[in-house]
Amino acid sequence: MNNQINIKWVVLTLFIVLAAATRMIPHMFNFSPLGAMALFGAAHFQNKWQAFVIPIAATWLSDLFINNVIYAQYYPQFTWFYEGFYWQYGSYLLIGLAGLLIFKKVTAPRVMLGVFSSTFIFFLVSNFGCWIGSTFYSQNLPGLGMCYAAGLPFLKGTMFGDLVYGLVLFGGFALVERRYFVAERVKDV
């Protein structure tokens, strides 16, 4: 049984790392696996601290590559963290928290609820982070509204990313789990 748990942990981690690696593929703005990774981790890792640490670590490693290889010309020196990263990372932690509440059991309706929650959380947090302290938007309610309005064109990419990656991660793992982990439990009986 312990071996099955270790194999399952490796498969879950591999799914998340591979999803993070897809960020290197050209895509539409905000089409990203990051929200889906946070939900997926929350739904499946037995140790809940891993639901936060593994998706955040995969995000950070992919950020290191993106910032220092793909976009190296925009950063004068090696970049460990980009400006304002804490708003995005904070949104992924909140998405993971929402996932812990949503996924007492993984079902298709709960996955869809998670996807929509992820998109909503990311939109609210990341645009708030863009607004607060901004010299571009006035620091009042109308300025915040303008910032959220300016973020609306990117909402579609976030929703598609959460939906596509959510379906791939949850659906792909359900297939693997059904094929390999259920078969292992039957053998052990």
Residue 82 pLDDT: 87
- Contact between residue 146 and residue 102 where contact means Cβ atoms under 8 Å apart: no
- Mean pLDDT for the chain overall: 91
- What are 29's two structure tokens? 């703005």
- pTM, two decimal places: 0.88
Task: Check residue 110 and give its pLDDT.
Answer: 97
Note the pLDDT tens digit of each residue in 131-180: 998 999 999 999 999 999 999 999 999 999 999 999 999 999 999 988 87
The closest of 152, 118, 100, 127 to 32, measured between CA atoms, is 118
110-131: b (≥16 Cβ within 10 Å) or e: bbebbbebbbbbbbebbbbbbb
The C-alpha atoms of residue 79 and residue 12 are separated, in whole angstroms, by: 28
**How far is residue 38's CA from residue 96's CA, in Å, rounded to a whole number?**
5
How far apart (Å, rounded) are the C-alpha atoms in residues 19 and 62? 10
Q: Which residues of the chain have pLDDT under 50?
A: 184-189
pLDDT score for 139? 95
DSSP 8-state secondary structure symbol assigned to residue 30: T
133 dihedral zone (left: phi>0; alpha: psi -120 to 50; beta) = left
In angstroms, the CA 64 to CA 82 distance is: 9
CA distance 88 to 120: 13
In the chain, where the domains are located: 2-188
Q: Tell me which residue has tokens 């996955």.
A: 111
